[in-house]
């Protein structure tokens, strides 16, 4: 069977070890040494859970299949639609709604099952230490991870988020989270600061040894954990099969996917699906005004040396796309040295470049575009006025970039836009894009948006907005390690 290898060395581990560690000891990310294959025709009459089981067993082969089946059934019973990830279609537009889980964002799809995978991996590896889930979030991962790990025996979870870098609803979802094992910390900095702080903690061998003597082992719920990435592959296969059922395509026809992304994990899952046999023609990478990925696809140079912009699509306000490291590994022919040197250049110089041949290989798979704040607002209004459909800000970025792609590439391949969050997570931005400026805040606008746009209110959302905060911890970005030490002691 294939192993999971670090992007930065020859280190090899089993699937359960890769899930448990989260990040390799050399700072690299774990990737499969080869891609399992799935015959798309074999999935034609399968349910979401059946396709999920097929994907997970192909990647996590050291887990018991019955255990995986139970994990899947438990995880997705929390979703409020039987399809888990339904597709809504309007003329030639198809939106894959990934936000029907408990926290109203696409992160739920992976983070509902990750706690089961992590605790299952610990049993396989005979780990008795308490697992500390350490996570940085730009908004959605935090709540989804907190929800998934709350009161899970044998775990603690610590989430760091940028103090002024999330929406009111995103913040409230985290600060009201209950659970004896959960900790939520706002840092004075942006998401990249939080993410770098978490990576530095993972890479500090002395600190990790200190934690081991205290009876703790670190793991991650970010998409750097392969246990987060693999469940995201599932909805690419599911949406393709549903598109065949709905007559959008015929079995075997190519499909494009447009993905609003900041950390590159969601679109990388689509790349993995293609390597497994899904007939993907083009993966369209949609960025907001923090368009470092767009510039890379244009020039072959990844350069984070630019102002950090706070936008109305905050989950994409990212300048260091961690999962891009995995793509570099695959398109470089598994060149550990190239990846390691590139990541070191990113730290020392804030940038790196790829050879022209590698850029050509990437261009065959991906197209990059970006959307301004004004274009985001206009897109939300346009789709609502045309179809009565309400998009969140991130989905609007995807829609605008998809339009640009069709115009520039003259490609009419059927396309699916990944809709990554409920409009209720960014109520003020969405409401004002459609109905104009309002003096009401995010909380007050929830009921107003529901009434005017005719979209049902998610369960417990109003109650959450009225709830008192149970977390109010702050720290400077350079103090994250000391704060974690204090929390665990």
Q: Catalytic residue numbers?
A: 107
Distance, CA of 188 to CA of 444 (rounded, Å)? 27
Region of 264 (left: φ > 0; alpha: ψ -120 to 50; beta: rest) is: left
Question: Token pair of 68, please?
Answer: 């995986």
Task: Give how far Cα 409 sits from Cα of 300, 361, 418, Å.
Answer: 19, 17, 20
Q: Which residues contact 253 (CB under 8 A, 6 or more apart)?
A: 279, 414
240/275 Cα distance (integer angstroms): 15
Find the helix packing angle between 265-276 and 324-331, rounded to 10°. 30
In whole angstroms, give the CA distance from residue 270 to residue 236. 6
| Cα–Cα distance for residue pair 480/485, rounded to 1 Å | 9
Please tell me the distance from the alpha carbon of residue 35 to that of residue 56, in angstroms, as a whole number. Answer: 12
Going through 107-168 in order, the beta strands assigned E by DSSP cover 130-136, 155-162
The secondary element (H helix, E strand) that includes residue 448 is helix 442-453
Phi, psi of 69 (to 5 degrees): -60, -45
Rounded CA separation 202/264 (Å): 20
Task: Report whether 351 contacts 345 (CB < 8 A).
Answer: yes
Give the Cα separation of 430 and 383 in Å (integer). Answer: 12
Q: Reduced to 3 DSSP states, what percent helix, strand and coil does the chain have, rounded to the nearest 5?
A: 50, 15, 35
Query: d(Cα 32, Cα 164) in Å, to the nearest integer?
Result: 36
Identify which of 75, 147, 71, 142 has the alpha carbon closest to the alpha carbon of residue 460.
Answer: 147
């Amino acid at each position: 069977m294939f192993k999971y290898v670090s992007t930065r060395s020859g280190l090899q581990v089993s699937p359960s070890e890769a899930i448990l560690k989260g990040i390799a000891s050399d700072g690299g990310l774990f990737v499969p040494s080869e891609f399992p294959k799935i015959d798309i025709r074999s999935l034609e009459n399968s349910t979401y859970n059946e396709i999920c089981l097929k994907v997970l067993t192909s990647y996590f082969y050291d887990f018991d299949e019955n255990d995986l089946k139970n994990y899947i059934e438990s995880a997705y019973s929390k979703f409020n639609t039987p399809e888990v990830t339904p597709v809504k279609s309007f003329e030639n537009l198809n939106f894959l709604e990934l936000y029907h889980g408990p926290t109203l964002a696409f992160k739920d799809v992976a983070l509902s099952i990750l706690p089961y995978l992590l605790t299952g991996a610990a049993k396989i590896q005979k780990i008795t230490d308490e697992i500390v889930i350490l996570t940085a979030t730009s908004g959605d991962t935090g709540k989804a991870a907190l929800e998934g790990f709350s009161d899970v025996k044998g775990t603690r979870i610590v989430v760091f988020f940028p103090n002024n870098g999330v929406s009111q609803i995103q913040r409230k979802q985290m600060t009201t989270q209950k659970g004896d094992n959960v900790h939520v910390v706002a840092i004075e900095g942006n998401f990249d600061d939080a993410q770098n702080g978490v990576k530095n903690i993972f890479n500090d061998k002395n600190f990790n040894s200190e934690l081991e003597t205290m009876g703790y082992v670190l793991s991650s719920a970010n998409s750097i954990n392969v246990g987060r990435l693999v469940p995201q592959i599932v909805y690419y296969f599911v949406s393709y099969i549903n598109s065949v059922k709905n007559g959008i395509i015929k079995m075997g026809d190519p499909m494009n996917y447009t993905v609003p992304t900041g950390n590159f994990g969601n679109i990388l899952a689509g790349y993995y699906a293609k390597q497994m046999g899904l007939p993907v023609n083009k993966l369209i990478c949609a960025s907001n005004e923090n368009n470092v990925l767009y510039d890379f696809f244009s020039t072959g140079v990844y350069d984070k040396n630019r102002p950090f912009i706070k936008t109305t699509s905050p989950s994409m306000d990212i300048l260091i796309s961690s999962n891009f490291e995995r793509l570099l590994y695959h398109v470089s022919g598994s060149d550990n040295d190239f990846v390691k040197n590139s990541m070191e250049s990113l730290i020392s110089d804030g940038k790196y470049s790829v050879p022209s041949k590698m850029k050509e290989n990437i261009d065959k798979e991906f197209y990059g575009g970006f959307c301004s704040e004004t274009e985001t607002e206009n897109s939300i209004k346009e789709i609502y006025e045309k179809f009565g459909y309400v998009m969140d800000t991130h989905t609007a970025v995807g829609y605008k970039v998809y339009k640009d792609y069709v115009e520039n590439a003259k490609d009419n391949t059927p396309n699916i836009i990944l809709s990554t969050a409920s409009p209720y997570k960014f109520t003020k931005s969405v409401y004002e894009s459609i109905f104009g400026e309002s003096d009401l805040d995010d909380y007050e606008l929830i009921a107003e948006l529901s009434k005017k746009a005719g979209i049902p209110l998610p369960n417990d959302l109003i109650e959450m907005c009225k709830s008192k905060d149970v977390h109010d911890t702050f720290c400077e970005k350079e103090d994250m390690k000391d704060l974690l030490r204090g929390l665990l002691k």
